[in-house]
């Protein structure tokens, strides 16, 4: 199955250095290119939570984002925005040493027809590694893209895709509220040792869009999923 992966910095501000605090959280978007020109996406970022619970609240956040005074005014009346701004979001040493969290909850079913709601989690097999503010500021402006390119030339960037299942009372329609860390992730089997690599950029990859709620008409079987070496970025 071809997979297209895009890494990004927060807010997609052109020219913003990777080490700038405003560049966090980082994004990881995954597009699964399925047979018959069907595709499905996972959109995640490196913060377990979100600054808005509704599309309207997110639009207000985006409009306030370029203006520090407006952003602080919004944070004064929105606890979710206040928490999002205040929580630590350190710069990663690499896109491949960061964890990424899905915001939306999806319905997952097993072979027996049992269904549960869950959120995606994408964990680096290389382990988490972050920089402090001084280290991040000293790195070149585009160190993350450079490091990832060099890493993929040498070896692989490997991640484990999991689903965190909701427990009783966990909110499934409010991305501002993360679930407790002890919620079960049943699909945490060891990764296969054989690397999976792409053979080139598929047509239209450079202009691909990633939609948080894009899903195929037919079920996508991902009870145990792990891949190495996403060569498409």
* d(C-alpha 198, C-alpha 200), whole Å: 6
Strand ranges inside 25-125, DSSP E: 27-34, 38-45, 100-102, 106-109, 115-124
Q: What is the pLDDT of residues 10-44, one digit of tens each?
A: 976 778 899 999 999 999 998 888 788 778 889 99
List the beta bridge partners of residue 130.
92
pTM equals 0.84
233, pLDDT greater than 50: no
pLDDT band at 213 (very low <50, low <70, confident <90, very high): low
* d(C-alpha 1, C-alpha 199), whole Å: 11
Cis peptide before 181 (omega within 30 of 0): no
């Amino acid at each position: 199955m071809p997979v297209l992966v895009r890494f990004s910095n927060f807010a997609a501000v052109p020219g913003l250095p990777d080490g700038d605090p405003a560049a966090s959280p980082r994004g990881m978007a995954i597009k699964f290119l399925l047979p018959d020109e069907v595709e499905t996406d996972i959109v995640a970022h490196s913060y377990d939570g979100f600054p808005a619970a509704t599309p309207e609240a997110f639009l207000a956040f985006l409009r306030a984002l370029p203006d520090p005074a407006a952003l602080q005014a919004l944070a004064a009346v929105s606890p979710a925005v206040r928490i999002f701004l205040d929580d630590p979001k350190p710069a990663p040493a690499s896109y491949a040493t960061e964890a990424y969290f899905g915001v939306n909850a999806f319905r997952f079913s097993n072979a027996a027809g049992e269904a549960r709601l869950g959120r995606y989690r994408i964990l680096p097999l290389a382990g988490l590694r972050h920089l402090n503010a001084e280290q991040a500021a000293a790195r070149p402006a585009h160190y993350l893209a450079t490091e990832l390119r060099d890493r993929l030339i040498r070896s692989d960037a490997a991640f484990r895709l999991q689903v965190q299942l909701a427990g009783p009372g966990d909110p499934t329609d409010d991305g501002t509220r993360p679930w407790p860390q002890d919620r079960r992730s049943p699909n945490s089997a060891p990764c296969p040792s054989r690397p999976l690599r792409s053979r080139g950029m598929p047509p239209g990859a450079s202009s691909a869009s990633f939609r948080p709620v894009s899903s195929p008409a037919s079920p996508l079987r991902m009870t145990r999923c792990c891949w190495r070496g996403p060569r498409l970025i």
